[in-house]
Structure 1
Amino acid sequence: MSRSLVQPVGQKRLTNVAVVRLKKHGNRFEIACYKNKVLSWRSGVEKDLDEVLQSHTVYSNVVKGVLAKSKDLKTAFGMDDQTKICLEILEKGELQVAGKERESQLSNQFRDIATIVMQKTINPETQRPYTISMIERLMHEIHFAVDPHSNSKKQALDVIKELQKHFPIKRSPMRLRLTLPQEKFNSLEEKLTEWKIIIVSKDESGSQLSIVCEMDPGLFRDCDTLVRNLQGRSEILAISVHGEGDIHADHYDGHDDVSSSEPKKLTEPVAQLTENMQKQTLAPKTENTESQVKQSKCSTCDAVVGDAKQYREHFKSDWHKHNLKRKTRQLPPLSAEECSADVEISDSKGDLNEYSF
């Protein structure tokens, strides 16, 4: 029975490496790097080139171990210095990643974009932000695809513009403090009315007038330029204001209402999703919800000790420790007052014993 003859391979095969590839003058040049070191080098964290490159060698194919020809290097780079060429490829080349790593990066960036969209938008009806899961579902509905070479914030702004075409969503207003001379206020007030900016409060201090207002973020640059021309200054108090948290937004008269004709343009699944979103949005807080705090009960002390924080602190108290000792002796628990009296009696007995000796 014939067997195939196995010849030795005269190539140095590199595996489990990070490959940086650069195409120049019709040729492909690659370098072999250590994983997770390329980004550190580009961000300036890693300074030692030997910690980044596995070898100061330029390849035409790292996986197969094929070295780049000296003639091609001189044609593309004008030199054959391997180290300098490696530096240029490291700076300008494209990092090649495996399929699973690429999926993980895209998934993380998709999540980052959804988070930015959530932070910058609100529901115009409730003045509250949507949840992160809702934003991700809407992004899937509009078939959004992540661009790994583009900034996450820029993509988030594009997503917001696309979502506004189909769903009840708007940019959350930003809160500013505008300070300018009082005699210049009339010129500013006309523009604020034209831009439909909400004035929250006014404060006069000598010849200066301070205004706290809320506006669409897209108007910030124009407003800041106008205030500077009026010899004033602007200060950002909050980038995103909504009806949740410490800063409460008022009802806005100038927000863009969603026309009744738009839902007719949506397909049935999208319209149903929008209806589900409205059901899942957070309802405004009432006075009763704040007072209704979940109470916790300690079985050892047989008493209600308050909310979760007070419940944890209760376990460190002398009252709980004293009842725990009584429980091991199969004695009934004592109240807080009875526990204090029992401890005082025990201390008094201890003092008398010490005095008798």
Structure 2
Amino acid sequence: MSKTLVQPIGQKRLTNVAVVRLKKHGNRFEIACYKNKVLSWRSRIEKDIDEVLQSHTVYSNVSKGILAKSKDLMAAFGTDDQTKICLEILEKGELQVAGKEREAQLCSQFRDIATIVMQKTINPETKHPYTISMIERLMHEIHFAVDPHSNSKKQALEVIRQLQEKFPIKRSPMRLRITISPESLSSILEKLGTWHGDIVAKEESGSRVSVVCELDPSLFRECDGLVRTLQGRLELLSVSVHAEGDTSVDRYDEFNEDILPSMPKEVSEASIGQLSERLEKQSVSKNKSSVGEVKQNKCNTCNALVGDAKQYREHFKSEWHKHNLKRKTMNLPPLSAEECLADVDLGASKEDLKEYSF
């Protein structure tokens, strides 16, 4: 017996339907869900099963609409209660996604990893972070491939290690406050010198001395152990410290492929300075008024960058976006803002001619 899965009008087949599959007792069982709801259910955000399942029906093949046989359900689950079986498949089954959905997931995770890398790294010369677009290009340069089964933070740390082998980039230091007795101060200062830590401030308050310093994150555990040994206290003030003040981070956004040659693991300060100077000379800013902005939102319908979050929201209300949305439904390519204006004027002229024609 077969039954075709009824889907809402206007939705492409298997675009908004996610299949959760479970193989048990030599048979394959599938249920039809919404992908975003499956993830929400497993993270215990969504609690209404009716918001997760498209139907309380167990299939042997969702795409073909073939229902699972009752005897197979009894043999595998010991019951023919469809809802109970759906719950078990939902918890233990494997989420199946289409090729485009998988590609979208990988692109999203790639962006997340690049964002983490940007937040945790700086240019050794300027002490400022690179832009997100620059980090993404460097990741493509080292041919980084996303592992969908691995944590984004873990992969970001691996990316930083690989980038340090070829490009002038380093982990941004964390800012710590160390509170100890005056007798132990010399030991701490000596160790900070060994670790190449920067002392930001030093204060004395009664019988205790407070030292604010910036240190490489990889040395945190060792520093914490030393402070505990000296019976002091360690406070984490900032996980990632970037240089204060204005900086033209967009100057690193545009560069030619030959600007960033492969570099040895130990990059000299002179090499870093030369590379930064070449980047500054070669770069061409697309919009001088956008200096300091890290993120530019892109409208896929209009195939154009539309600025920050506020401008992005306003863009969706514009006639330009609405016109391109109509063209998209007719499988026509998007127009630029100027082309869109000309096309609308042309359409208005044709309507006027129709109105006055006899």
Give the TM-score band, short-chain normalised. 0.5 to 0.7
| Secondary structure in 1 matching 2:134 | helix
Structure 1 residue 170 displacement after superposition: 0.8
- State the partner residue of 1:63: 63
Cα distance in 2 for residues equivalent to 1:103 and 1:73? 34
| Residue aligned with 1:87, SS | helix
1:175-214 maps to which residues of 2 (within 5 A)?
A: 175-214=175-214
TM-score normalised by L of structure 1? 0.63
CA RMSD in angstroms, aligned pairs only:
3.2
Supply the distance in 1 between the matched residues of 2:187 and 2:75 (Cα, whole angstroms).
Answer: 64
The equivalent of 2:132 in structure 1 is: 132
2:213 matches 1:221 = no
Q: 1:279 to 1:179 in 2, by over 3 A?
A: same
CA contact (8 A) 2:2 2:67 kept: no
CA distance in 1, matches of 2:131, 2:262: 23
Post-superposition offset of 1:198? 1.9
Flag the 1:85–1:182 CA change in 2: closer, same or farther, 3 A: farther
Amino acid in the other structure paired with 1:150: S
1:86 aligns with: 86
Counterpart position of 1:235: 235
Q: What one-letter code is carried by the residue in structure 1 that aligns with 2:173?
A: P
- Please, which moves more after superposition, 150-159 or 64-73? 64-73
Q: Measure, in 2, the Cα distance between the counterparts of 1:57 and 1:215.
A: 57
Give the match for residue 12 of structure 2. none
Correspondence 1:99-118 to 2 at 5 A: 99-118=99-118
The residue aligned with 2:4 is: 12
Pairing 1:1-357 to 2, within 5 Å after superposition: 10-15=2-7, 17-74=17-74, 76-77=76-77, 79-245=79-245, 263=263, 275=275, 278-280=278-280
Q: Deviations over 1:81-125 (max 9, x none)?
A: 432332222123222223333222222221121111111111212
C-alpha contact (below 8 Å) 1:14/1:62 kept by paired residues: no
Distance, in Å, in 2 between the alignment partners of 1:180 and 1:73 is 67
Distance 2:44 2:277 in 1: 44
Q: Deviations over 1:162-195 (max 9, x none)?
A: 1111111110111111112222333433432332
Amino acid at match of 2:66: V
Matches of 1:68 and 1:233, distance apart in 2: 63
Q: Match for 1:67: what amino acid?
A: L
Judge conservation of contact 1:59–1:68 (CA < 8 Å) in 2: yes
Secondary structure of the 1:179 match is: strand
Quote the Cα distance in structure 2 between the aligned partners of 1:119 and 1:41: 30
Q: How much does 1:31 deviate? A: 0.9
Report SS of the residue matched to 1:263: coil
TM-score, normalising length: structure 2: 0.63
Residue 275 of structure 1: CA displacement?
4.7
Letter in 1 for 2:59: Y
| Residues in 2 aligned to 1:10 and 1:78: alpha-carbon distance in whole angstroms | 23
Paired residues, what number? 255
Q: Which position in structure 2 is the counterpart of 1:293?
A: none
Secondary structure of 1:133's counterpart equals helix
CA distance in 2, matches of 1:93, 1:14: 22
The runs of 5 or more residues in structure 2 that have no matched partner are 8-15, 247-260, 266-270, 284-358
CA contact (8 A) 2:3 2:67 kept: no
Partner of 1:340: none
The answer as to whether partners of 1:14 and 1:63 remain within 8 angstroms in 2 is no
Q: Is the 8 A contact 2:2 2:66 kept in 1?
A: no
AA matched with 2:5: R
Deviation at 1:139, TM superposition (A): 0.5
* Identity within the alignment, %: 73
Match of 1:258 in 2: none
Larger Rg: 1
Deviation at residue 202 of structure 1 after TM alignment: 1.2
Please tell me whether the aligned partners of residues 19 and 62 of structure 1 are also in contact (alpha carbons under 8 angstroms): yes
In 2, Cα distance between equivalents of 1:10 and 1:29: 14
Q: Deviations over 1:24-83 (max 9, x none)?
A: 455332111135321222222221112211222222211112223445445544554432
Secondary structure of 1:234's counterpart equals strand
Residues 196 and 264 of structure 1, relative CA distance in 2, 3 Å threshold: closer
Counterpart of 1:12, as a letter, is: T
Unaligned runs of 5+ in 1: 1-8, 247-260, 266-270, 284-357
Other structure's SS at 2:23 match: strand
Q: Secondary structure at the match of 2:30?
A: strand
